[in-house]
């Protein structure tokens, strides 16, 4: 929980520094909003909520029961509720609307290791502008979030229009997915096998020959764009995609982003709904799937009756980010321990209480053991809670106005005057 708060607090403060506002939507949505948005499999994974009151009153037994007794379901992701929210509040929202959302979602998956029925998603989107500055902003956010978290990443960028352009010049506009999948296999199976697979999928020999320069694309992002521009001069949509990529990389250079960003034509995530940029973020020093991803969608709110509302968003995978930080040992020390200092309880409450209050007022996290128990038990409590400093103030200390503090890790013990708050704060590392 402390670790998740650390990740979310970091992400949240970056989002805010770019002017994004946090919103929350209710856990329950109408099933009519949710059904049909996640495919057949997704519909099965929706949690349905029994209508309150007598759910079975007036049920027509000759018709399917479930849709009669359940009107609401738990949200399955943050995207569909966001689209519903934008459409519903269209008149109050100032567009471009920059929002983020960090809330749990629910899926009726069989519980298994690493897969939970309730888990958090963390989405940031800007909706209502087609400017590539929005794409840039998401790349800037990724750059800053992972810089603050101490994770080295690579941002892979693709563009759906470029993929459409490639399919178009191959004379196979319906084969976008096949082409992307084939490109994706290049590293694993090699050029010849990829070409064979493309032929197998029904691409012509001319088309495969045309695509060869794309398959073997190398060099800088600008060089890659130049090669493709030569190839795609006949495809309007392809050229539009290349313009977008070029503008975005220009902005990335202008903004001085230090995270490496590269064009990767094999990026196919969300190919069904993304219409422009596609992003994926990989951790460089830890083997794991993508830790963030997203893209531009031109028609998110269309299904709810608000057309022509282009947006672009990215999602941070909190669970995977947790795994990377854990694996690389990059969580700041002491996150888990709620307090820095435990005052053992020797019965000298009147002496200890004001000292503890003064330390808290100075910003320290301090607790007093509630019971006058054996010292061993109080030590154990500090140890199990990971409280790094312990103070035992008995009659002697109370009489002399002293505070003994022990660093439980090193065993170092120092005596302070009870009024020497700066000294105590420095010793327990809360200055």
Stretch that binds its own copies, among 81-89, 205-213, 282-290, 365-373 (CB under 8 A): 365-373
Among 8, 27, 197, 334, binds its own copies (CB under 8 A): 27
Report the candidate in 67, 25, 63, 61 with the shortest Cα–Cα distance to residue 46: 67
Phi-psi region of 163 (alpha: psi -120 to 50; beta: other; left: phi over 0): alpha
3-state DSSP assignment of residue 240: helix
**Could you count the other beta carbons within 10 Å of the beta carbon of residue 45?**
14
Query: Which of the residues 259 through 298 are near its own copies (CB under 8 A)?
Result: none
Query: Contact between 255 and its own copies (CB under 8 A)?
Result: yes
Do 263 and 150 meet the contact criterion of CB atoms below 8 Å apart? Answer: no
Q: Which is nearer to its own copies, 188 or 384 (CB)?
A: 384
Q: Which is nearer to its own copies, 240 or 385 (CB)?
A: 385
State the nearest-atom distance from the C-beta of 195 to its own copies, in Å. 41
State the nearest-atom distance from the C-beta of 392 to its own copies, in Å. 16
Stretch that binds its own copies, among 167-175, 326-334, 336-344, 390-398 (CB under 8 A): 336-344
Please give the size of the binding site for its own copies, defined by CB under 8 A.
75
Among 82, 251, 279, 427, binds its own copies (CB under 8 A): 251
β-strands 97-106, 21-22: how paired?
A: parallel
Among 35, 70, 215, 239, binds its own copies (CB under 8 A): 70
Query: Which of the residues 116 through 135 are near its own copies (CB under 8 A)?
Result: 117-118, 126, 129-131, 133-134
DSSP-derived secondary structure for 134-165: HHHHHHHHHHHHHHHHT--EEEEEEEHHHHHH
Among 264, 339, 344, 427, binds its own copies (CB under 8 A): 339
Measured CA angle at 104 (ends 101, 108), to 5 deg: 140
Q: Which is nearer to its own copies, 242 or 352 (CB)?
A: 352
State the nearest-atom distance from the C-beta of 4 to its own copies, in Å. 9
Measured CA angle at 210 (ends 206, 211), to 5 deg: 120
State the nearest-atom distance from the C-beta of 34 to its own copies, in Å. 14
Stretch that binds its own copies, among 82-90, 186-194, 272-280, 346-354 (CB under 8 A): 346-354
Query: Which of the residues 371 through 400 are near its own copies (CB under 8 A)?
Result: 371, 380-381, 384-385, 387
Among 6, 37, 38, 49, binds its own copies (CB under 8 A): 49
Among 202, 213, 260, 354, binds its own copies (CB under 8 A): 354
β-strands 28-30, 70-74: how paired?
A: antiparallel
Rounded CA-CA distance 341/367 in Å is 6
Among 23, 151, 231, 324, binds its own copies (CB under 8 A): 23
DSSP state of 292: E
Query: Contact between 345 and its own copies (CB under 8 A)?
Result: yes
Helix ranges restricted to H, 37-159: 39-44, 66-69, 79-88, 132-149
- Token digits for 16? 């805010």
Among 71, 184, 367, 420, binds its own copies (CB under 8 A): 367
Among 40, 350, 374, 411, binds its own copies (CB under 8 A): 350
Query: Contact between 67 and its own copies (CB under 8 A)?
Result: no
- Token digits for 297? 């969608």
Query: Which of the residues 134 through 193 are near its own copies (CB under 8 A)?
Result: 134, 136-137, 140, 144
Rounded CA-CA distance 22/8 in Å is 12
Do 238 and 158 meet the contact criterion of CB atoms below 8 Å apart? Answer: no
What are the φ/ψ torsions at residue 165 (nearest 5 degrees)?
-60, -45
Stretch that binds its own copies, among 26-34, 194-202, 299-307, 407-415 (CB under 8 A): 26-34
State the nearest-atom distance from the C-beta of 247 to its own copies, in Å. 10
- C-alpha dihedral, 142 to 145 to 149 to 150, nearest 10°: 50
């Amino acid at each position: 929980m402390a670790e998740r708060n650390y990740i979310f607090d970091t992400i949240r403060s970056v989002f805010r520094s770019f002017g994004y506002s946090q919103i929350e939507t209710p856990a329950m949505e109408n099933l009519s909003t949710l059904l049909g948005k996640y495919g057949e499999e997704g519909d099965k994974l929706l949690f349905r909520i029994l209508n309150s009151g007598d759910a079975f009153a007036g049920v027509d037994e000759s018709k399917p029961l479930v849709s009669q007794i359940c009107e609401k379901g738990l949200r399955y992701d943050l995207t569909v509720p966001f689209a519903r929210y934008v459409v519903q509040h269209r008149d109050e929202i100032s567009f471009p609307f920059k929002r983020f959302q960090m809330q749990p979602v629910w899926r009726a998956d069989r519980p298994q290791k690493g897969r939970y029925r309730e888990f958090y998603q963390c989405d940031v989107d800007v909706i209502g502008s087609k400017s590539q500055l929005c794409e840039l902003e998401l790349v800037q956010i990724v750059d800053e979030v992972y810089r603050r978290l101490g994770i080295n990443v690579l941002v892979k960028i693709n563009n759906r229009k470029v993929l459409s352009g490639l399919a178009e010049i191959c004379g196979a506009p319906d084969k976008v997915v096949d082409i992307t999948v084939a490109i994706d296999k290049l590293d694993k199976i090699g050029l010849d096998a990829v070409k064979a697979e493309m032929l197998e999928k029904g691409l012509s020999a001319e088309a495969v020959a045309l695509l060869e320069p794309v398959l073997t694309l190398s060099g800088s992002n600008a060089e890659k764009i130049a090669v493709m521009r030569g190839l795609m001069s006949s495809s309007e949509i392809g050229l539009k995609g290349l313009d977008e990529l070029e503008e975005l990389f220009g902005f990335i250079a202008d903004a001085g982003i230090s995270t490496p960003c590269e064009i990767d034509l094999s990026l196919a995530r969300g190919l069904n709904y993304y219409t422009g940029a596609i992003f994926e973020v990989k951790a460089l020093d830890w083997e794991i799937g993508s830790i963030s991803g997203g893209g531009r969608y031109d028609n998110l709110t269309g299904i709810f009756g608000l057309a022509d509302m282009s947006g672009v968003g990215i999602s941070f995978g909190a669970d995977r980010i947790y795994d990377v930080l854990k694996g690389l040992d990059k969580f700041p020390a002491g996150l888990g321990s709620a307090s820095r200092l435990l005052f053992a309880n020797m019965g000298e409450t009147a002496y200890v209480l004001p000292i503890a209050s003064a330390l808290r007022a100075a910003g320290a996290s301090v607790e007093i053991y509630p019971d006058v128990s054996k010292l061993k038990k109080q030590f154990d409590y500090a140890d199990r809670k990971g409280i790094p400093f312990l103070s035992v103030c008995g009659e002697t200390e109370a009489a002399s106005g002293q505070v003994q503090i022990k660093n439980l890790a090193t065993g170092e013990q120092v005596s302070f005057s009870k009024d020497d708050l700066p000294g105590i704060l420095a010793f327990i590392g809360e200055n």
